[in-house]
Amino acid sequence: MMDYSPTILTGGDTRSDDQIMEAHGRAARRVSGSGLPGAEDSPLVIMELLQRLRVRDVMRARDIISVVRSDSLRFAQNLMKRNNISGVPVVENRRLFGIVSVNDIIRALEGGWIHDTCQQHMATNLVVLEEDMPLAFAIKYFENYTFGRFPVLNKERDLVGIVSQRDVMRAIMKELTDELARLEGRTPPPGAADTAAKGEGALPYYSMRQFAVVHNDLTNAGKAANEIKRMLKEAGVDKKTIRRVAVAAYELEINICIHSVGGAITFILDTEKATIVAKDSGPGIKDVEWACRDGTSTANDWIRSMGFGAGMGLANSKRVADTFDITSKIPTGTTVMCTFNLAETKPQ
Amino acid sequence: MNVEDIVKTLDGKLVAGGDNGRTVGAVVANDLMSDVLLNDADDILLLTSLASDQAIRTANIVGAMCVVVHNAKPLPQTMCQVADTLGIPLVSSPLSKYESCVRVHDFLAKE
């Protein structure tokens, strides 16, 4: 997994962290620990979602309400009141200088410096997000820092958006709704589920599992394929087909692990066929035809030392599958779909 | 050639997975797991130098009957755990992979 430490922009502010957090509008609350909040208990589809979505997918990039350093706190106060927001970034030429929060305004009203410039009282020790961070990190930040929103910077350190808890919630709800709609479209008609229980070894009418695959996590890579193999065995699928499906699942899982930023393996089993969809979130393949040839690989020595990177993954998957389909786009990612007919054995 | 024969022939030690009572159907000596996956044979004895969880997971995918790791390489605890979970005998041998190939060949030739 990529290492994203909290990014703190430090300016000339002499206040303590707690003061600055207070200045952001809420009492500071730090939560220790790492990883995804509650992810250990989350369904895989949600884990995959939190890894796949990036901060840039959920942030508000347009109409960012901001002030410049020379604006007065009174001006910032009116802006916040008009737009019903509790903080406003101080930005010039896309560069983020600080944040003025509602607490700064309250303090200014009490202290009698509401006509001072924003530059004099803004918070400059800021916690920011980067646009290509997985959404999981944004959620972790909200948990750790309790700010209502975070500025989002690009690689050039320009302010490119603002992300609030509401934005995160809205994006997750939308994605989950889409996922549910997709699942409902595949749900068997009422009564058909009875065909699933025709005794031990009978093929279930329909089953689906999704497995998150994390970049460079070779310790866990292969778990999905082994689980898929177990499911097929339980469903009474013949030995040769099980092996073909398991080989493709394993190769595709390893590919996501070592060549992409992360993704997921989705396995769908019905009475007629088994389907594997391996989808990653980038960086995509420049020449798909080349990548599907035997022995072509971009793997480094470390990956080779772990027994992979021989350039056989896609070619192997294609060889064992009844249908093989691959689409790839730089930088958004690659999707591979393999299907296996369960009624007949693939001719060798 | 069963697991007991493999242990004896290769001066090895059964470190995880237990004896599953299966016998060798084919022998694959390889460190590249994609190459192993290419093989269609059943009851494979996998001779490898790869001391990682992936060697066991690959063995499970192809239904291997036993995995031997060579040169007395230290075996990660997780590798042994995966072998126990999947019920794949994991043998540690002090021999080189080449020497193992020769000894296994000689044993099978006599069978």
Domains along the sequence of chain B with CATH: 3-110 (3.40.1390.20)
**Are residues B82 and B53 in contact, defined by beta-carbon separation less than 8 angstroms?**
yes
* Predicted TM-score (pTM) above 0.95: no
**Are residues B77 and B52 in contact, defined by beta-carbon separation less than 8 angstroms?**
no
Note which residues in 32-91 of chain B have CB less than 8 A from chain A.
32-35, 37-38, 40, 48, 50, 52-55, 57-58, 60-63, 78, 86
How many angstroms away from the CA of B110 is the closest CA of chain A? 30
pLDDT given at position A36? 41
H-only helix segments in chain A: 17-23, 44-52, 55-58, 73-83, 102-111, 118-121, 135-145, 165-186, 223-234, 239-259, 288-291, 301-305, 313-320
pLDDT given at position A344? 54
CB contact under 8 A, B32 and A243: no
All structural domains of chain A with their residue ranges: 7-171, 193-341
CB contact under 8 A, B86 and A247: no
Q: pLDDT digit string (tens) for B56-90?
A: 999 999 999 999 999 999 999 999 999 999 999 99
Q: What backbone torsions phi and psi does residue A161 show, to the nearest 5 degrees?
A: 180, 175
pLDDT given at position A24? 41
**Are residues A307 and A222 in contact, defined by beta-carbon separation less than 8 angstroms?**
no
Give contacts of B78 with chain A, Cβ < 8 Å.
219
Question: Check: CATH 3.10.580.10 for A7-171?
Answer: yes
Q: Please state, in angstroms and rounded to a whole number, the distance separating the CA atoms of residues A102 and A25.
A: 6
ipTM, two decimals: 0.90
pLDDT given at position A45? 64
pLDDT given at position A34? 35
Q: pLDDT digit string (tens) for B11-46?
A: 999 999 999 899 999 999 999 898 899 888 999 999
C-alpha distances (whole Å) from B85 to each of A175, A223, B80, B90 are 35, 12, 9, 12
- Superfamily of domain A193-341 in the CATH hierarchy: Histidine kinase-like ATPase, C-terminal domain (3.30.565.10)
CB contact under 8 A, B52 and A246: no
Alpha-carbon Rg for chain B in angstroms: 12
Give contacts of B62 with chain A, Cβ < 8 Å.
243, 247
Q: Which residues of chain A have pLDDT under 70?
A: 1-48, 51, 182-206, 295-299, 343-348
Closest-CA residue in chain A for B53? A219
Strands, E assignment, chain B: 13-16, 26-29, 44-48, 66-69, 90-92
CB contact under 8 A, B37 and A218: no
pLDDT given at position A1? 40
Q: Please state, in angstroms and rounded to a whole number, the distance separating the CA atoms of residues A249 and B61.
A: 10
pLDDT given at position A166? 85
Nearest to A251 by CA among B33, B49, B30: B33
Cis ω for the linkage preceding A283 (within 30 of 0): yes
pLDDT given at position A12? 37
Q: What backbone torsions phi and psi does residue A277 show, to the nearest 5 degrees?
A: -120, 115
pLDDT given at position A142? 86
Tokens 């200088």: give the residue: A97
More confident residue, A187 or B110: B110
| DSSP summary character for residue A72 | B
pLDDT band at B93 (very low <50, low <70, confident <90, very high): very high
CB contact under 8 A, A307 and B62: no
Nearest to A307 among B55, B61, B62 (CB): B55
pLDDT given at position A21? 40
